[in-house]
Amino acid sequence: MSRLMVGGWVLTFVLAGVSAMAQNKLDCPGDLSEPDADFDGELQVLFENLEPFLGPLPLDSTDLDVSGIPDQAELALLVTYLKGMGRDAPLTVEAICQFEANKALWLTDGLLADFENVFGASPNAIAALMSMSPAMNTVFQTLGATETYPVIHWPGEEGEPPPFSINGDLDRDGLTNMEEWANVISSDRRVEDYIQAAAYPGLDGSNTLPLISDAGLALLIALLGMAGLRLFRRRAV
Ligand SMILES: [Ca+2]
Ligand SMILES: [Ca+2]
Ligand SMILES: [Ca+2]
Q: Structural domain boundaries of the chain? A: 32-236
Q: How far is the CA of 71 from the centre of ligand 1 (A)?
A: 4
Å from CA of 199 to ligand 2 middle? 7
Torsion of CA 208, 211, 213, 215, to 10 degrees: -80
Name the closest ligand to CA 133.
Answer: 1
Give the pLDDT of residue 29.
81
What backbone torsions phi and psi does residue 107 show, to the nearest 5 degrees? -65, -10
Kindly indicate the confidence band of residue 4, based on its pLDDT and cuts at 50, 70 and 90: very low
Gap from CA of 58 to ligand 3 centroid (Å)? 27
Residues with CB under 5 A from ligand 2 (ion): 169, 171, 173, 175
3-state secondary structure the chain: CCHHHHHHHHHHHHHHHHHHHHHHHHHCCCCCCCCCCCHHHHHHHHHHHHHHHHCCCCCCCCCCCCCCCCHHHHHHHHHHHHCCCCCCHHHHHHHHHHHHHHHHHHCCCHHHHHCHHHHCCCHHHHHHHHHHCHHHHHHHHHHCCCCCCCCCCCCCCCCCCCCCCCCCCCCCCCCCHHHHHHHHHHCCCCHHHHHHHHHCCCCCCCCCCCCCCCCHHHHHHHHHHHHHHHHHHHHHC
For residue 69, the CA-to-ligand 1 centroid distance in Å is 5
Q: Determine the pLDDT at residue 208.
A: 59
pLDDT digits over 54-71, tens only?
Answer: 999 999 999 999 999 999
Report which bound ligand comes closest to the CA of 168.
Answer: 2
The rounded Å distance from CA 162 to ligand 2 centre is 12
Supply the pLDDT for residue 214. 46
